[in-house]
Structure 1
Amino acid sequence: MREELEKQVKKQLELGVVRPSKSEWAAAPHFVKKKTGEWRCVIDYRRLNASMVADSYPLPRIWDHLRRAAGKKYYCTLDMNSGFWNVPIEEGSKPLTAFITPIGLFEFNVIPFGVKNSPAEIQRAMDACFEPLLGDDAFCYIDDIVICGDDFESVLAKVELFPKQCRKTGFYQRLDKSKWFKHQVKYLGHVVGTDGIKVQEKKTQTIVAARRPESRRGLQSFLGMCGYLRPFICRYSDTTAPLFDLLKKGAELKWQPAHERAFEALKEAVQNTVILHAPTPTGTYIIETDASELGVGALLKQCQGDVEVPLEFASRKFNPTERRWDTRERELFAVKWAIEKWRDYVSLAHFVVRTDHNNLRYLTNVDTGKVFRWALAFSNYDPRLSFFRESAIISRTG
């Protein structure tokens, strides 16, 4: 890898990305293979990161962007050319980024990948650069930008504004990776389009083909991949509970039949994920809830025409105290938790709650304790809140 490192450093020198350094700092470079088969040089900045004060500039929430982008007619994705290298760093900070190579010590003139505060810095710069076009139909997550909309002309106007902003601020767009006026695009690890949000097929295949983990790190990695898809998975917390038990402090990674069942059930759930639809302005929202001894499961749906379509699944585990609650308390908590989770959808709209337990009667007869406090929380939604007793709760497809 010596030749590859020398080649990349010399190219970075020509581009002005790095410069020779006399710093007291010296991080070690490593290589990871890209999907294209090329090699990416990654600097080990763990020592530097440990001594840095965290930058609190907020990164957007991925699912906020996905929900707002879903359901549009046209999509354009705009790829930045080495987005991190578009933002210079202060002179006094450059020596901190120094890294050692066989041909000398070098430091970055621009934001390097791998430094703890780099994502916050690039997000700040991108927000400032593209502020005129960001909004309801244009989103930026670090250096990934999507412009979408139902009207061709309005999308085109924002697309035409993008290179103008690049020229003003010194950013560079990579045209060969940008997509133009598609009905669906890959964005933030998902496929977002006119129909809604769905899982990338490649991610599904990777998880379904995964072998049983043989180490704690392997299990953590597998659960991390699956956790990214939990809004698509019914009862994710219940399904994964046996696997997370193996990661508890002091637990031995000893695979039992319960763990194998959970592992296979999780892969099956990933394989059978459905499209999560975009909400419409007029459809009635439906929240379906259920509680087990382990935790809560919920599904947000909406009536669109004559069909009820899924918008998002959600779940959470009970803590030891909550597991001691009786059935009525667990079921009531499930309703409370789901409403609070999706309050942005239902707070100003008529909606229905479906549960397999007759909680409404119990709610109205209690005037003390935590259930009474939950009843007060429900009153914020009255009279739009109705309960229906159902036997089948949270079907996979909605």
Structure 2
Amino acid sequence: MRSVEHSIQLVPDCRVHHQAPYRLSIPEATELKRQLEELLRLGFFKPSNSPWGAPVIFACKADETLRLCIDYRGLNRYTVKNNYPMPRADELFDRLAGNRFFTKIDLRSGYHQIRVATEDQPKTAFRSRFGHYEFTVMPFGLTNALATFQTAMNDIFRDILEEYVLVHLDDILVYSRTLEDHLRHLRDVLQRLRKHGFYAKLGKCRFAQRKVDFLGHHVSDQGLHMDDAKITAIAEWPVPASAKQLRSFLGLTSYYSNFIQGYARSSYVLTFTLIRKNLPWFWTPLCEDAFRGLKKVVTCAPVLRLPDFDRPFIVTTDASDFAVGAVLSQVFPSPPDSPYPHVPPSPPPPADTASRLTPTLPPLPSTDRPPVTYSLTIAEDGTVEARAGDCPIAFYSRKLLPAEINYTADEREVLAVVYATRHWRHYLHGAPFTVRTDNSVVQAFLTKPKLSPQQTRWWRDLSEFIFTTQPIKGETNRVADALSRRPDHNQEPIHLAAISITTVDQSVIDEYRTQYRHCPDYHVIHATLRSGKTVPSYSLGKNDLVYWHGRSGQLEPRICVPSTGQLRVQAVAEFHDQAAAGHMGFHKTLAHVCRLYVWPKSKDFVKAYIQ
């Protein structure tokens, strides 16, 4: 494409970056030589004597072939960033309502169809054992390459964007209501691509389909739902062993939070585990329940109806002591009044996937509220039988900030409406809609004569919308209510205290024996005692556990808890987390723990756990 060139603007006083080539294995070197010869033949780069020089790296593609990449981190550090706006996936999906035919086009080497500005080509130079080259076309790895490519795509399709084509980098989606229109639209898109020298990967394209994968979602004439592969990946995610692993898991699930009822509620415990500063990593039974619960709600995610902007929206809100929740919905009448397809229930996963989703642990404890599900059912005539005719468009939930938790119940109800309207402003602004809530305080707030400074800001935010309030009974508001409620974790006691000199749980003993072998604090002591030798202040019980008798050897024996595994966490959780313990404070919890257990710096450990 000649109308768009990639330019590289550098910050003032930058330094020329050059780096020695990375060492490659024999297969990588062979592949590098082959690709260099091919790309040189195509004219994608040329020999260079530039002072710049980045090393070559390889990235493994989905088909297990190697993609040649350049490590441009040194160049990117000195490049002025291009803040070209990238399209939001959720906004793109909003344009698909009512369409029945879809074509997905995946471009081949799209970057290489865009030239690098002549004066900037020396900056793209890279070094290898086979020579020094610089690119004439845009390579992978440059910091502003995404912005340049999106600019090129928008220029090609500018007059038809969001009319019948969506573009997100090299993913192109053509959509139409009828097959005749779709063929005409598809011909126009393909002709534009050919005119500007872009080519598609035929094996990855899907033409005139009722259902395609686009940006990690399944798009169909029935609505929008999660990718089955992503559901399987979440369901099979192993228990996190570090904050980094937990952050990766939450990052994947949060991408689909629109599909998940009560995401803030389900992820509350796990999120709290991440935001603790400078505290040791803990994985408590409470975290385990939250982790399993979040995976469960993901696998039950419903099909979301695509919004119809010719119909009024309904916002149903609720607030609890620690979160707010909302549901965006629309009423779709039964055929023949509606020109849109019927909404089926969420399709079950394949048999092999369903078998892997079967929980291996007991279900979460029941709460004082009945379990809530929001699933569409279909009548015999094919009409939608959702509550009051509502079809869900999106779910929203948000954990309250510490200051917001101190608000009154009435203020939290208003805050739920404020947050929901802010979040869905692109749906609600400029058209009348209805706010449903089980508290009449929202209507009273709109006519309240005297407001605090905080309430004045809320009123200002709400005043730009045109809406009416509709009170509903609390038992009817089950979905939004569930989004804002935290389940009461009435866990069964762990019974670690049963490990005494006379009473022993064999499964726990086995865990202790295993962890002693890996624990730096007690590995040598345990091995020495098992060999028949003595260690001052320590003894080996008949159950093969290590006991400490105090420095003088006169104290009641206490179990030495290994640092590996989760035994120390469980020891503290036994006294602090259980309902019968009443969530004691630091001093009482420490006193109870020290009666039975001992380990180095246990005081700091208990304090960090409670904080």
> Which TM-score applies when normalising by structure 1?
0.92
Q: Which of 98, 119, 131 in structure 2 is aligned with 1:104?
A: 131
Root mean square deviation, CA, Å: 2.3
Instruction: Provide the C-alpha distance between the structure 1 equivalents of 2:105 and 2:243, rounded to a whole number of angstroms.
Output: 38
**Match among 409, 424, 427 for residue 342 of structure 1:** 424
Q: Does 1:268 align with 2:296?
A: yes
Partner Cα separation in structure 2 for residue 373 and residue 221 of structure 1: 35
**Aligned counterpart, 2:479:** 394
What SS does structure 1 have at the residue aligned with 2:402?
coil
Aligned partners of 1:245, 1:164: CA distance in 2, in Å? Answer: 52
Equivalent position of 2:218 in the other structure: 191
Q: How does 1:321-340 map to 2 (within 5 A)?
A: 321-340=403-422
Aligned amino acid, residue 423 of structure 2? K
Q: Match of 1:353? A: 435
What do residues 263-301 of structure 1 show as CA deviations (whole Å, max 9, x unaligned)?
112111211111111123554422121223332221111
Report the equivalent of 1:310. Answer: 392
Q: Is the 8 A contact 1:352 1:387 kept in 2?
A: no
Q: Which amino acid aligns with 1:230?
A: S
Amino acid at match of 1:237: A
In the alignment, which of 11, 19, 23 is matched to residue 38 of structure 2? 11
Larger radius of gyration: 2
Q: Tell me if the contact between 1:352 and 1:388 (Cα under 8 Å) persists in the aligned partners.
A: no
**1:291 maps onto 2:352 in alignment:** no
CA distance in 1: counterparts of 2:65 and 2:401, whole angstroms: 46
Q: Which runs of 5+ in 1 are unaligned?
A: none
CA contact (8 A) 1:133 1:162 kept: no
Matching residue of 1:371: 455
Report what 2:242 is aligned to.
Answer: 215
Secondary structure of the residue that 1:40 maps to in structure 2? strand
Q: Distance in 1 between matches of 2:427 and 2:99?
A: 18
SS of 1:247's partner is helix
Pairwise CA distance, 1:67: 1.8
Stretch moving more, 388-397 or 88-97: 388-397
Indicate the structure with greater strand content. Answer: 1
Q: Give, in angstroms, the shift of residue 4 of structure 1.
A: 2.0
Preserved CA contact (<8 Å) 1:84 1:111 = yes
Q: How far apart are the structure 1 equivalents of 2:99 and 2:469? A: 29
Indicate the residue corresponding to 2:165 in structure 1.
Answer: 138
> Which whole-Å CA distance do the structure 2 matches of 1:229 and 1:360 have between them?
29
Q: Report the residue type matching 1:360 in the other structure.
A: V
**Distance change in 2, residues 1:360/1:115 (3 Å):** same
Q: Contact 1:137–1:148 at 8 Å: present in 2 too?
A: yes
Asked which structure has the greater RCO (Cα within 8 Å, sep 6+), the reply is 1
Q: Is the 8 A contact 1:99 1:107 kept in 2?
A: yes
Amino acid at match of 1:371: Q
* SS of residue in 2 equivalent to 1:180: strand
CA 1:356–1:386: 2 relative to 1, 3 Å? closer
Q: Is the 8 A contact 1:195 1:277 kept in 2?
A: yes
State the Cα distance separating 1:349 from its structure 2 match: 4.0
CA distance in 1, matches of 2:395, 2:467: 25
Alignment match, 2:186: 159
Q: Which moved more, 1:343-352 or 1:221-230?
A: 343-352
Partner of 2:63, secondary structure, is coil
Partners of 1:96 and 1:215 in 2: CA distance: 39
| TM-score relative to the length of structure 2 | 0.61
- Please tell me whether residue 63 in structure 1 is matched to residue 90 in structure 2: yes
Residue 234 of structure 1 deviates from its aligned partner by: 1.7
Residue 330 of structure 2 aligns to a residue whose secondary structure is: strand
Displacement of 1:57 in angstroms is 1.4
Residues 216, 162 of structure 1: alpha-carbon distance in 2 compared, 3 angstrom cutoff:
same
Decide whether the 8 Å contact of 2:434 with 2:467 is kept in 1: no
SS at match of 2:306: coil
Query: 1:167: how far off?
Result: 3.1
Against the structure 1 CA distance between its residues 301 and 54, is the aligned structure 2 distance closer, same or farther, given a 3 Å change threshold?
Answer: same
Alpha-carbon displacement from aligned partner over 1:37-69 (angstroms, at most 9, x marks no partner): 222233222222221111121111111111212
